[in-house]
C-alpha cells in the first residue's frame, strides 16, 4: 500500500538580467544567469525595454543553453522577429508559453514510450546562457532587453 508525506510543495523564484546592446548586426550576444540547485527552468519572459529597428527585413531570435551559445533548452532563430524590421518597446514574449512551444526543450516529453530526464532540471547549481541572434542588418533603437528566468524549486 502506498504511503504519503505532505510538505509545502514547489516554490517559484526568478532571476532578472538586463542586456544593453542586446542585438548586434550578424552576431550573437550572450548573457548568463545562475540556476539554483534543485530547480527546473519553468519559463523565460523577455521584455523589450526599448524598441529595436533593423535596417531592412530580417530575423531576430534566441537560444537558451547550458553552454555559451548553446541551445540545449530552447531555440528559435526568428522567435522575436521573422522577416520584419521593428519591435516596439514593451513587447513581451513568454518563451515557453506551454510545453509544446516552438523550440522549448527544458522539460520531459509527455506521452512517450519511456520517460527521459528534463534538461531544464538540475541537482546542482549551474550557469544558463541566453543568446540573442540577429540578422545581417544594421540595428538601431534603444536595443535593451529584460530577461526573467523563472525557476521552480522541486527539492
Supply the pLDDT for residue 97: 54
- Higher pLDDT: 103 or 42? It is 42
Task: Dump the DSSP string for the chain.
Answer: ----------EEEEEEEEEES---TT-EEEEEEEEPTTEEEEEEEEEESS-EEEEEEEEEEEEEESSTT--SSEEEEEEEEEEEEEE-TT-EEES-SSTT-TTB-SSPPSS-SS----TTEESS-EEEEEEEEE-SS-EEE--EEEEEEEEEE--
What is the rounded distance in angstroms from the CA atom of residue 44 to the CA atom of residue 64? 9
Range of the domain at 40: 11-102+123-153
- Residue 145 in domain: yes
- Residue 113 in domain: no
**To the nearest whole number, what is the mean pLDDT of the chain?**
90
Is residue 99 over pLDDT 60?
Answer: no
- Residue 2 in domain: no
- Residue 115 in domain: no
Is residue 105 over pLDDT 80?
Answer: no
- Per-residue pLDDT averaged across 74-96, rounded? 92
Tally Cβ neighbours within 10 Å of residue 112: 8
* Whole-number percent of the chain with pLDDT over 70: 93
Supply the pLDDT for residue 50: 93
List of residues 6+ apart from 122 with CB closer than 8 A? 35, 37, 38, 39, 40
- Residue 44 in domain: yes
Supply the pLDDT for residue 102: 61
CATH number, domain at 23?
A: 2.60.120
Strand partners, 65: 129
Supply the pLDDT for residue 129: 97
- Per-residue pLDDT averaged across 45-70, rounded? 95
Is residue 100 over pLDDT 60?
Answer: no
Supply the pLDDT for residue 98: 47
Residue 103: which pLDDT band, with cuts at 50, 70 and 90?
low
Amino acid at each position: 500500500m502506498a504511503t504519503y508525506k505532505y510538505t509545502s510543495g514547489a516554490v517559484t523564484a526568478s532571476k532578472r538580467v538586463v542586456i544593453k546592446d542586446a542585438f548586434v548586426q550578424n552576431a550573437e550576444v550572450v548573457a548568463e544567469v545562475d540556476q539554483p540547485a534543485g530547480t527546473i527552468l519553468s519559463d523565460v519572459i523577455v521584455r523589450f525595454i526599448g524598441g529595436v529597428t533593423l535596417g531592412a527585413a530580417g530575423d531576430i531570435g534566441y537560444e537558451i543553453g547550458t553552454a555559451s551559445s548553446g541551445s540545449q533548452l530552447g531555440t528559435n532563430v526568428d522567435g522575436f522577429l521573422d522577416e520584419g524590421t521593428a519591435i516596439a518597446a514593451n513587447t513581451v514574449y513568454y518563451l515557453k508559453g506551454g510545453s509544446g512551444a516552438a523550440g522549448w526543450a527544458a522539460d520531459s516529453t509527455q506521452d512517450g514510450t519511456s520517460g527521459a530526464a528534463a534538461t531544464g532540471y538540475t541537482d546542482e547549481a549551474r550557469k544558463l546562457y541566453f543568446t540573442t541572434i540577429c540578422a545581417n542588418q544594421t540595428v538601431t533603437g534603444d536595443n535593451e532587453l529584460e530577461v526573467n528566468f523563472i525557476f521552480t524549486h522541486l527539492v
